[in-house]
Structure 1
Amino acid sequence: MSIFTSHTPELFRRTTVQVQNRGAENDSGAGTRDSTLIPDYVVNFIRGETPETVARRKQNGGNQGMRAVDITHQHRHQRSHMALLENANENENDARRAYDAQSNFTWSSTMTQLQQMLPWSNEKPGTRRRLMTGWRFGVFVNILLLIVVFITGFICAVYAGSKVPISTGEMDLFTGSCRVATSIDLGLHALINVFVMILIVGASYIFQVLSSPTRSEVSRAHDGKHWLEIGVPSVRNFGHIGKLRAGLAIALLTVAVATQIMYNSIIFTSQPEVSYNLIVVSESFFSGWVFSNTSSNNEGGLTRKEILELGNLASHNELTNLTTSECIGIFKGAFNTDFRNVLLVLDTLGSENSLVATAQAGIDGNKLQAGNDMSISINNNQLFFDGTPVGFCLAQHSETSEEICTVQLSIFLFVAVLALNLITLLIAASTLVLQRFEPLVTLGDAITSFLRDPDPTTRTNCLLTKQNLRTGMGGWGFSEGKYWTPKRDHMWFRSPSLVNWTVAGSWWLTSTGLVLAALAITVGSQPSSQPLSPFGVASPHTTYLLPLSASATIPAGALAVATAIPQILLAGLYFSTNALLTSYFLSRESSLYAILDDGAGRPLRVSADPEGRQTTSLYLTLPRPVSWALAVLFTSMGLVLSQAFFVVPLSPTDITQSPQQQHHVLGVGLSGVALVVLLAMLVILLLVILGMGFLKAPSAATCDGRAVGNPLVFEGGSCSAVISARCHRVPWEADVWKQRVGWGAVPEMPGAVISHATYSARSLTELDGTRRYA
């Protein structure tokens, strides 16, 4: 019987003590080199054998297990094609001895070696210990962070409710200098985006756990010739995992994205709009010509004293002389905050009255309005009043030394955010209480499971690839052996699937396209002297107002939610980028087991309940430094995006009108500087992803005298069938998954035609391009 067809994990030991071969590999350290030999009766006692079982084992040629019954291998009838082709000796002892001889391994050992041979304790760790290791501890940490975010928000909501009734909808957090208000707004949005990223990263972590299959789910999928994804966040698995977990995972992502939008909508800053007087005069006004301020030409209601004062200021050059483009810019802007009086000087001397018209300039919902009946037009970069060209403009600056802005909080949206935070917290907590949930989250989980209980659907196909499964050639049920002849090094960009690249590329292109379109609009709206509007501040030329009727019916918070919708693009881009990077590092982690230079092997990194030399970690597949860097980048991008698209509530400051008569207008503001910064971040993200994609996987084989290729990389994404095909261990390596392992060709019996490669704690060799492996 071939050594590769049995699944029994029993240990075999010769009944006589042998002196260890001097050339044999000793991986037990220097401390065991001087150890004394251990008598057989001590070994038998440690193994729990009695003289009767020892005698029975000797009578059966060593094939009887430690129990008083003969072991019948469950899959004995499924003989390996490799064994049939080689006419292998049916005696398992011969196969074992051949394996021992070629691997420089003897079954006599020191105490340290004996402890490595004997099964590790199968005692399950307690609930507290399980909660403090692996993915459970990672979920627990995320729950603690979610609790901190929720409690912080709850305290703020209670404080806000104590100051103003929740029914008012909005609360003024600060009223004062616009410069200070802008800084407060920026700081609050920075804190908000830190909270948002905690939620997004936590949701991504828990989503990967929930979407990871269990071994029974993988087995059912393989029985139906379907493969699942292990070690990466996966939507593909939803059709094969529990419906409850799939529903929780979908709900978690949906709530996380909704939270990102809502959180970036709760804070906004109202912008003052200065009402100003618009006076149209002829050039004779400055020569002392008479004027009349009767109601027919003085709809602005200026007194004779105010008009004379303007003429006096103009004669003393105390008014600001505006160029034609600057004057046009005032009328093209959505609001004015700089001037209280603007004089339009016509290119005509006039006949009887040098004061042509006055008006109160205000907002009509789209642009500044020059009075009820005042007709001002712009044609070919020339300003006209009632068909008469305007020669130049003079303006008087506002007396207000500093603009007054108000930072506001939408209480309704804040309460909605707290509700979403609570839902996220409940979903995260439910993950820990799922009964009998043992997901294969990491690569080490899958390898451990398949080494402990090999998958019969991928037997004798250790070089199975994802392409084999797609094409049907060399896939399910293939057992004739394959050659492995790498022709090129594996670049990281080949590790993710085409679907991963397509999804991530779509999110990136959509995000970049939106930023470019918005940037083109802002540059086209701004004056040529200042092509980019300031960072996070409403500019008259890049603020687009709603009609007055819409502003009267739409709450500022609702428009804030609409302006935060582009945050969906960042959320989608984060999840898809995280999936790409996870595929990169999953393939890298797998490839390291094929590096046999040091011969020491590597421990399996599992997501829970490590045994023997296994290790565990808080991260699942993506290393913490990479995950943190990605989180910092997207936190910054979320902050910049909140300053690039924002709601602009305008509060007119007309002292001649009561607050009830004043119109509060809403608009959407764009920041050119913020858009440029966001575009630069998107380009940096693209360059980093592509740059990492051209890294090479470590070579594990030689071709034409040079190192090239690695048999353990993933081409086209994670695949449970590929992993299981690599994990058909030799039968007498009991509990090999608890030791440091490598992956390579196991020593074969003389005359074998087809070889085998698997994970092993013993000596392995690189794959030979001239041999077939199954």
Structure 2
Amino acid sequence: MDSASQHETHELLPISREAPSKSVTEVNLEEEKPKLNALHRWRSGWKFMLSLASVACVLVLLFNTGLLLWAVARDRVKEERGILFEGDCDYVGRVNTGLHLLINVFSTILLGASNYGMQCLCAPTRKDVDRVHQRGGWVNVGVPSIKNLGHVSGRRSLLWLCLLVSSVPLHLLYNSTVFYTTSAYGYDIFVGYDSPEGKNLALLDADGHDYTFRRLWSKAQNQTLDDLSASECYAAYDTTYQTKYGGVIMLSDDVEPATRYDWATYEQVYKPFNGKTPHPWMCTEGASCAEDAAKSNWAVGGYRVHSCLSERVPQLCKLQYSLPLTITVIAANLIKAVVLCYVSLTKGDDAPLLTTGDAVASFLHKPDRFSVGRCLLSTKDVRASYYSMEKHLYKRLNYQGNRTRWYSAVQVRDWLSVILFWSIAIGMCIFLIIYAEANDGKAIWDAKFGKTSSVDSSTLIKGDSWPTSLIANTIIANVPQLIFSLIYFLTNSLLTSMTLAAEWSLYAVLRRGLRVSWNPKAAQRQSYFLSLPYRYAVPLMASSATLHWLISQSIFLVGVDAYDPDWTRDERLDVMTCGYTPVAIVSAISVGGAMLLSIVALALRRLDSAMVVAGSCSLAIAAACHPKYDPNLQHEAQQVNIRPPEEEEEEEDMAYLPVKWGAVAVDGDVGHCTFTSEEVEMPEAEKVYQ
């Protein structure tokens, strides 16, 4: 026998009383008993979930495409923008809220479907696992893993990359494909002794700007001007963008004669440039103006004002869409739909190992020969020194018997990544608050969530070099969403790893059925969606949705259509920038901080048993699945590869039964721990196991 044959025989020796079982399709167990009809098998498997995901993507694609075609046919596109609705601001605002709620629902559906597809594509098959183990490596099972892409087929890696790339436009653009713009008005300010109501226009002395004054005079005759006190007038015009009132006549006892109406100045729509402040006409002494108005000491242009007559302006709000952004989102939607449909409808590779239960079931059916004799192998051991078969095979270890904490299931590198990105996100929030305080801290805490009408100049991101295009501001406004999506991905992966370790640890305490992703039989249980238990998944998704909404209210697109005092459009003064709301920022920090603290609190919990932590490491999982191995018989003769048919059948059924991890009965001083459906006992501390 040549050296290669001797080496292969030596590798098989420890699997005593065991010969390789018949060819099994790992997790795909439809040939095993009990037999179920094909429809039931399909509905209980990962392919069914993938089919639902692809159908959802197609439905969203049809809606997005249909809405775009309807919008283009309804109204012409001007400067790459179209109008969906126009008119009363309250109505347009409600439509905007409803449509953005729908967009967020669709975005969640698309990203959830995509994430599930990505996890299926990067999940290894048993063939992948065997190939990697033979090379002395390992892969992740049960968690999203970029590491796995180097070990799965090139086709699956390419499809995974397509899903990843198509997610970027959804994070950056989808929420801003439809956007709300409001109309802001410039206005003229006149000062007079009393109302022009009942006075002959020809006898009045109005200094210039005749068109605006004639309009105000006409409304005074119709008694449609609002009569406001000094404090009410100050509050009405103390806004960065005037959307409610237009021209105004300030009433003062200092004006003589009563037929005289002086034009004081005019206010144009505010452009957020450095060094420029809105409505400078109202006061020259800053913070004291509001007090003066309340005490009837408010002076405008040298006249003390006791009240004012103000005209209401028509509210012209629009719900617009960006054609290039919408087409980009539809293209991303199409890519996801095509990829998910392709994966769900094609046979492809063997079924992937999506959960640790899948892996345990596979290794119980067909034990992994590259992890034999190392039953106490942990994920920490594997990561500490890249696994070498020659170094670690048949290595005996002492059972420590110490219950570790949840955080031990996660690499230090992963913890550092989560903390780093959370720190970046919180740091950006704090920077915005400091920026606002440095500009003007008096009003930043009064701004309402994400409302253009309540935007204060101090909460606008301004500067002479700030971009004014829709696409640039859309990307800037949504970068925090992309950052948080990355944080969510890392946090979800971290939490999944810890909950996997917690469930793994329970197998040393309770006898339970395996949680599998394909056709559960007998005692086996259906897997969770994406491996995360619902008691953690639901709060995580709820807090994530809340945080996404708070982020959208923290920094948002500000679009203003400018009108001059004559109510004609002045596109030169249109505004497209970003605004932010400090109250929403602080709320986002609070929710994000609570999420992070909750994760840390969970990480400090102790596992239910002292079972070695395998985490998502395929090699450590495989090492715990050798139910027929006896370390005291590893040097016996070649009969180790012979097994009675009834014993083969019994082992194949083992994965369907409730299993438990522990020390099994062996003949000799060296113990052995494994998953099995047979009787086990808790390993003894400091005893040697192999």
Q: TM-score, normalised by structure 1?
A: 0.70
Is the counterpart of residue 227 in structure 1 residue 138 in structure 2? yes
Q: What is the distance in 1 between the residues matched to 2:608 and 2:351?
A: 31
Whether 2:478 is the aligned partner of 1:564: answer: yes
Match runs of 1:224-303 below 5 Å: 224-278=135-189
Equivalent in 437, 445, 449 of residue 535 of structure 1 = 449
Alpha-carbon distance in structure 2 between the residues aligned to 1:605 and 1:729: 19
Partner of 1:416: 328
Take 1:364 and 1:652, find their aligned partners in 2: how far apart are those partners? 9
Structure 1 match to 2:594? 684
Bigger mean CA offset, 529-538 vs 210-219: 529-538
Deviation at 1:534, TM superposition (A): 0.7
Matched, 1:730 2:628: yes
Match of 1:340 among 247, 251, 254: 247
- Encode CA deviations 1:144-171: one digit per residue, 9 max, x unaligned: 2222222222332232233123566333
1:661 and 1:475, CA in 2 relative to 1: closer, same or farther beyond 3 A?
closer
User: Would the aligned equivalents of 1:647 and 1:669 in 2 still touch at CA under 8 Å?
Assistant: yes
Pairwise CA distance, 1:208: 1.3
Residue 772 in 1 paired to residue 683 in 2? no
- Once the two structures are superposed, the pairs formed by residues 543-558 of structure 1 within 5 Å of their partners are 544=460, 554=469, 556=470
Pair 1:179–1:672, CA change in 2 (3 A): farther
Counterpart in the other structure of 2:580: 670
Q: Which letter maps to 2:342?
A: S
C-alpha contact 2:169 2:328 (8 A) present in aligned 1? no
- Quote the residue 2:491 is aligned against: 577
Contact 1:212 1:237 (8 Å CA) reproduced? yes
The answer for the alignment partner of 1:603 in structure 2 is 513
Q: Which residue of 2 aligns with 1:621?
A: 531
Looking at structure 1, the residues matched to 115 and 507 of structure 2 have their Cα atoms a distance apart, in angstroms, of 27
Partner residue, 1:490: 404
Letter in 1 for 2:628: V
Structure 1 residue 234, shift from structure 2 partner: 0.4
Deviation sequence 1:198-239 (CA, Å, 0-9, x none): 112222211111111122222222233222111100011122
Preserved CA contact (<8 Å) 1:212 1:440:
yes
* 1:518 aligns to 2:427 (yes or no): no
1:746 aligned to which of 640, 664, 668: 664
Give matches, 1:395-410, under 5 Å: 396=308, 398-400=310-312, 403-410=315-322
SS of the counterpart of 1:743?
strand
With 642-651 and 514-523 compared, the bigger mean Cα shift is at: 514-523
Q: Deviation digits for residues 717-749 of structure 1, max 9, x if unmatched? A: 421111111112216552122322111111122
Report the AA paired with residue 746 of structure 1.
Answer: V
Give the Å deviation of 1:658.
Answer: 3.9
Counterparts of 1:80-95 in structure 2, within 5 Å, are 80=14
Aligned to 2:642: none
Question: How many residues get paired?
Answer: 627
CA distance in 1, matches of 2:176, 2:571: 28
Pair 1:321-2:230 in alignment: yes
Indicate conservation of the 8 Å contact 1:339/1:395, yes or no.
Answer: no
Displacement of 1:376 after TM fit?
9.9
Q: Does the alignment pair 1:758 with 2:665? A: no
From the superposition, tell whether residues 393 and 747 of structure 1 become closer, same or farther in structure 2 (CA, over 3 Å). Answer: farther
Deviations 1:641-664, CA, capped at 9 Å, x for gaps: 223322222223335264367642
Q: Which has the higher contact order (CA 8 A, sep 6+)?
A: 2
* Distance in 2 (alpha carbons) for counterparts of 1:369 and 1:359: 15
> Structure 1 residues 147 and 627 mapped into 2: Cα distance closer, same or farther (>3 Å)?
farther
Rate the CA distance shift 1:357–1:236 in 2: closer, same or farther, 3 A.
same
Secondary structure of the structure 1 residue equivalent to 2:655: helix
Classify 1:392/1:679 alpha carbon distance in 2 versus 1 (closer, same or farther; 3 Å). farther
The CA distance in 1 between the partners of 2:117 and 2:422, in whole Å, is 24
CA positional deviation for 1:246: 1.9
> Cα RMSD between the aligned structures?
4.5
The answer for unaligned runs of 5 or more in structure 1 is 1-71, 84-89, 94-118, 283-292, 700-709
1:674-712 alpha-carbon deviations (Å, 9 max, x no partner): 33332332123223322322333213xxxxxxxxxx214
2:96 equivalent in structure 1: 185
Corresponding residue number in structure 2 for 1:147: 58
The answer on whether the counterparts of 1:366 and 1:545 sit within 8 Å (CA) in structure 2 is yes
2:552 to 642, 652, 655: 642
CA distance 1:582–1:207, shift in 2 (3 Å)? same
Which residue is equivalent to 1:436?
349
- What is the TM-score with the length of structure 2 in the denominator? 0.78
What CA distance in whole angstroms lies between the structure 2 residues aligned with 1:524 and 1:281? Answer: 38
- Which consecutive unaligned segments of at least 5 residues does structure 2 have? 1-5, 19-29, 194-203, 290-299, 630-646
TM superposition shift of 1:585: 1.8
Q: How far does the alpha carbon of each residue in 1:390-434 deviate from its partner, in whole angstroms, 9 at most, with x for none?
A: 686677464217744222233442232222111111111222225
Task: Give the match for residue 462 of structure 1.
Answer: 375
Relative distance call for 1:533 and 1:520 in structure 2 (3 A) is farther
Taking the aligned partners of 1:560 and 1:590, their CA distance within structure 2 comes to 44
CA 1:187 to 1:527, structure 2 compared with 1: closer, same or farther past 3 Å?
farther
Give 1:611 deviation, angstroms.
5.2
Structure 1 residue 516: deviation in Å? 2.9
Report the Cα distance in structure 2 between the residues aligned to 1:683 and 1:670, rounded to whole angstroms.
20
**Structure 1 residue 773: Cα displacement:** 0.2
- Secondary structure at the residue paired with 2:230? strand
1 CA distance for matches of 2:478 and 2:265?
37
How far the C-alpha of 1:133 sits from its partner, in A, is 2.1
- Are 2:268 and 2:564, in contact at CA under 8 Å, matched by a contact in 1? no
Which residue in the other structure is 2:269 paired with?
363
Cα 1:304–1:655 shift into 2, 3 Å? closer
Counting helix residues as a fraction of each chain, which structure ranks higher? 2
- For residues 92-135 of structure 1, what are the alpha-carbon distances to aligned partners after superposition, in whole Å with 9 as ceiling and x for unaligned? 69xxxxxxxxxxxxxxxxxxxxxxxxx99469877645432221
1:590 equivalent in alignment to 2:504: yes
- Asked if structure 2 preserves the Cα contact closer than 8 Å seen for 1:138 and 1:618, the reply is no
- Between the aligned partners of 2:656 and 2:664, the Cα distance in structure 1 is 18
